[in-house]
Structure 1
Amino acid sequence: MDRAGMLAEELGAELSLLHVVSPTASERVLEQSLQIAMNRMRSRARPPLWRHGSEPRIIVRTGNPARLICDTVTQEQSGLLVVGPHERRDVLEGLSGTIAEKVLAARKSPLLFVQTSADVSYRNVLFAVDLSAEAELAVRAAETLVLSRDARATAIHVCVPPLRGMVPSTTAALRATVARRQLTGAIHDLLTRASADCSRYDVVVEEGHPIPALLRAVETHRPQLLVMGTRAMGRMRRALLGSVANQLLKEVVDCDVLVVPRIAELASGRACRPPAPGALLRH
């Protein structure tokens, strides 16, 4: 909740706090639960507990959490969905239609998974990038929504190595050196197009398989925030393979994670733009 409030204050954005109450068979019990939830949310969103500018709008609803969150993101036209650590298990459980999958599939809003305390702005940020338009969108969205002006960032690209024995070792080493140099230049070009200040980025090209390489990078760089873009994927492909973003969300626990979905404008071929400021926090 504090991270959402801090970002809303920095952006000058409106903030809505959403709490979903599970349905019950008893209308009386449900009514009491809704009232208790509303009172708790109002108390938390007022001074002295609330320290982030204007008081947020409180929304308390009952029903299916995934459906309500997706509907509220659409109704509020939210530019960012913030999910706290208590909701992590709910977000990641299951293979068919988790909250994260549904919001990302709807291509409506980036998701910020908050797992650490919100004492300071993000100043050490790690971007997992490839050469896609989705990576450009992730850079733009992160700079618009969550990065402070003095933040430093590292952009890491992971390339899969050739199979051992396929080419002579000397030739393989030479090809790897040339490929690394070309990829580094291509990432610099992407950042020049996408970033308002590409000088803040260090570029790292690693050879290996994406998941373990990115986990090593998180351990090495110790970022406060990991940023990833993601493409739209069919449900069956997600269930069988899983995206890099989904797998990293399950593994990365020591920093916050921002996932920027492939939005409708990008899918239709129009210029990709970052989402409008605004935040919806699920509590």
Structure 2
Amino acid sequence: MQRILLATDFSERSDRAARRATLLAKTTGASLALVHVVDDDRPKRIFEAEQRAAEALLAEQARSFREIDGLSCTSRIVMGDPFEGIAAAVRETDADLLVVGPHRRQVLRDVFIGTTAERTIRASERPVLMANGVPAGPYRHVLVAVDLSECSATAIRALQKLGLGSKCVVSVVHIFDAPAASLMVRASSTKEGIRNYLEDEKERVSGELAAFLNDIGLKPKRRILKHNETSIAHTIAATVREANADLVVVGTVGRTGVAKVLLGSVAEKVLRRADFDILAVPPVRET
């Protein structure tokens, strides 16, 4: 990883993203770039005043990163829509990773809903790290959620390229559906029959997961298989707690990508309130 872009709004909660970006820059040797977007769709007097204040704050923050943390750090102010401005900054800096914090929850919620998702994650073409947890040091346990799709493979490649899992435990969780189980329950099948069916499904999926990981060249510490009984997001959150993971990696498109992991009422509640970091990896664009 060579370049990290940190998006900040100067809030106290955005300090969490700043601390995480600092840790990543120090451990990987990457340079750091700061970006703040000033909404220009306001009266000129207000817009210009905020621009001047933001330039001073951002310059001071960049100077602190250089002089105190010893990082190579630049800064820029972007005018316009927040999401479009951040996406443009990602392209202009050719950042390997965009780091955002849990600040402005209402806005961050919109990042992953509807068309705004494409305007941020997909438009950026680069992985986005949501720094929800309190950074206490380098990551200790990374949990990769996979659905055996190419998008999951892309997420794993991004994790490897960024080096985020090189010095910590890496586990993989695959949550599988067993649609016949509910039919068997309604048909009053025996508990033993349902259990046998689920065990057979788990064995089949285990083989598929092993082949997938072998093809991608990942040898995780643990391979976790779970039957989806509630929702993908709920099960992932529960697995994070069980495994004591501090970073979750997901692909943003796929059978259980953003459409199922980051959308919907249950998923929205789980991930918006999550106290673990989330690395969302967009698909590779075709040229």
TM range (shorter): 0.7 to 0.9
Partner AA of 1:216 in structure 2: A
| Partner of residue 13, structure 1 | 30
| Partner of residue 226, structure 2 | 206
Q: In 2, distance between residues paired with 1:63 and 1:117?
A: 30
- 2:137 aligned with 1:120, yes or no? yes
Cα offset, 1:37, TM superposition: 0.9
- 2:279 aligned with 1:258, yes or no? yes
How many corresponding residue pairs?
Answer: 256
State which of 194, 197, 210 in structure 2 corresponds to 1:188.
210
Q: Is the CA contact 1:7–1:145 (under 8 Å) kept in the aligned structure 2? A: no
Q: Judging changes above 3 Å, is the alpha-carbon distance between structure 1 residues 43 and 185 closer, same or farther for their aligned structure 2 residues?
A: same
Structure 1 vs Structure 2 CA RMSD: 2.7
Cα offset, 1:15, TM superposition: 2.1
Q: Is the partner of 1:218 in helix, strand or coil?
A: helix
Q: Judging changes above 3 Å, is the alpha-carbon distance between structure 1 residues 48 and 102 closer, same or farther for their aligned structure 2 residues?
A: closer
**TM-score of the aligned structures, taking structure 1 as reference length:** 0.79
Q: In 2, distance between residues paired with 1:114 and 1:153?
A: 18
Cα offset, 1:23, TM superposition: 2.4
Q: In 2, distance between residues paired with 1:152 and 1:78?
A: 26
Cα offset, 1:204, TM superposition: 0.9
Cα offset, 1:249, TM superposition: 5.6
Q: Judging changes above 3 Å, is the alpha-carbon distance between structure 1 residues 166 and 72 closer, same or farther for their aligned structure 2 residues?
A: farther
Gaps of 5+ in 2: 1-17
Q: Counterparts in 2 of 1:19-34, with a 5 A limit?
A: 19-23=36-40, 25-34=42-51
Q: Is the CA contact 2:141–2:170 (under 8 Å) kept in the aligned structure 1? A: yes
| Partner of residue 156, structure 2 | 139
State which of 177, 189, 197 in structure 2 corresponds to 1:175.
197
- 2:92 aligned with 1:71, yes or no? no
| Partner of residue 119, structure 2 | 102
Q: Is the partner of 2:208 in helix, strand or coil?
A: helix
Q: Judging changes above 3 Å, is the alpha-carbon distance between structure 1 residues 59 and 232 closer, same or farther for their aligned structure 2 residues?
A: farther
Q: Is the partner of 1:93 in helix, strand or coil?
A: helix
Cα offset, 1:172, TM superposition: 3.2
Cα offset, 1:210, TM superposition: 1.6
Q: In 2, distance between residues paired with 1:216 and 1:96?
A: 25
Q: In 2, distance between residues paired with 1:59 and 1:147?
A: 26
Q: Is the CA contact 2:91–2:124 (under 8 Å) kept in the aligned structure 1? A: no
Q: Is the partner of 2:60 in helix, strand or coil?
A: helix
| Partner of residue 252, structure 2 | 230
Partner AA of 2:281 in structure 1: V
**TM-score of the aligned structures, taking structure 2 as reference length:** 0.78
Identity of aligned residues (%): 25
Gaps of 5+ in 1: 269-283
Q: Judging changes above 3 Å, is the alpha-carbon distance between structure 1 residues 3 and 48 closer, same or farther for their aligned structure 2 residues?
A: closer
Q: Judging changes above 3 Å, is the alpha-carbon distance between structure 1 residues 17 and 213 closer, same or farther for their aligned structure 2 residues?
A: same
| Structure number with higher relative contact order (C-alpha < 8 Å, ≥ 6 residues apart) | 1
Q: Judging changes above 3 Å, is the alpha-carbon distance between structure 1 residues 229 and 166 closer, same or farther for their aligned structure 2 residues?
A: farther
Q: Is the CA contact 2:31–2:72 (under 8 Å) kept in the aligned structure 1? A: no
Cα offset, 1:259, TM superposition: 0.7
